[in-house]
Amino acid sequence: MAGMSDSLRKEIQEKMWSLQSHIESYTESMRVQQDINRHHVAVELKIVAARDEQNKLLGADNGILIAFLEAELDTIFEHFKAQVKESEGHRQQAMATGGWLLERGVDVMKGKYPEGLKWNVSRATQTDGA
C-alpha pair distances (Å), 36 with each of 7, 40, 65, 95: 43, 6, 21, 25
Residue 128 has pLDDT above 50, yes or no: no
Give 107's strand partners: 112
With contact defined as beta carbons under 8 Å apart, do 107 and 117 qualify? no
Distances from the Cα of 122 to the Cα of 14, 21, 52, 81, 102, angstroms: 12, 13, 56, 34, 21
What average pLDDT is seen over the chain? 77
Summarised one tens digit per residue, pLDDT across range 59-93 is: 556 677 778 888 888 888 888 888 888 888 888 88
Rg (the chain; Cα; Å): 24
Q: Give per-residue pLDDT as tens, 84-112.
A: 888 888 888 888 888 888 887 777 777 77
